[in-house]
Amino acid sequence: MLAVFVSGTGRTLRNLIARCADGSLPARVGLVVASRECGAVEVARDAGVPVVVRAGDFRADELDAVLKGHGVGWVALAGYLRLLPIPEDYRGRIVNIHPALLPEFGGSGMHGLHVHRAVLASGAGRSGCSVHICDDRYDTGPIVVQRECAVLPGDTPESLAARVFALELEAYPEALRLLIESASAPQAAAGRGAGAAGGSR
Ligand code: GRF
């Protein structure tokens, strides 16, 4: 089961729920954790997904308890604006999407239009999105999937954001599907312990 962590409008959450429903992502969104009341909380409630709203930071043991308490196997950060400590049993199972080609244009404060402004200011000819495994810092873990697009003459942060977001809609479900399927392949299952996170979709 997949938990989605949010702070924003919920477009990414809505996409992941739809991809689970149409079978292209072999998972079920069973929990949404929000850092504040926001559009994404409404998306979750409309879809009948349980929501935890928590304004403060999690300690790793608290996060571990929330995730295991809801039977969560995988976590997708979808515009979540807080840094998460990674519980030991969830290493490799917490994933983020970033609207630029990491390792460039990542880090604290680099979210939303800030990212696209920085890309335009740099003069880069290409941008895109990156799905990566989370470690204990912002935007630095191993990259799973990247998709690229051109930066066009006359682009504004908003126009670039829209082009990148169209890529995100494909890249995030694809990366999650790759990770979930490879973790449930026979070879992976043989080497896996019996932890609560193991094998859950
Ligand atoms: C996406 O652009 C993603 O790159 C970033 O947060 C945005 C999603 O926010 N991490 P939302 O889906 O509109 O709430």
Q: Which residue has the least CA distance to atom 7 on ligand 1?
A: 79
Backbone torsions φ then ψ of 5, nearest 5 degrees: -105, 130
Residue 74: what pLDDT? 98
Residues of the chain with pLDDT under 50: 193-200
| 98 counts as catalytic | yes
DSSP states along 137-153: STT-S-EEEEEEEEPPT
Backbone torsions φ then ψ of 149, nearest 5 degrees: -145, 165
Looking only at the bridges linking them, the beta strands covering 2-6 and 74-78 are parallel
How far, in Å, is the centroid of ligand 1 from the Cα of 79? 4
Q: Which residues line ligand 1 (CB under 6 A)?
A: 6, 8-12, 40, 78-79, 97-99, 165, 168
Residues 72-99 have pLDDT tens digits of: 999 999 999 999 999 999 999 999 999 9
Residue 197: what pLDDT? 46
The single residue of 70, 98, 111, 114 carrying the catalytic annotation is 98
| Closest-lying ligand 1 atom to the alpha carbon of residue 40 | 14
Taking the C-alpha atoms of residue 170 and residue 24, their distance in angstroms, rounded to an integer, is 10
Ligand 1: which of 5, 11, 42 to mutate, judged by most atoms within 8 Å of the beta carbon? Answer: 11
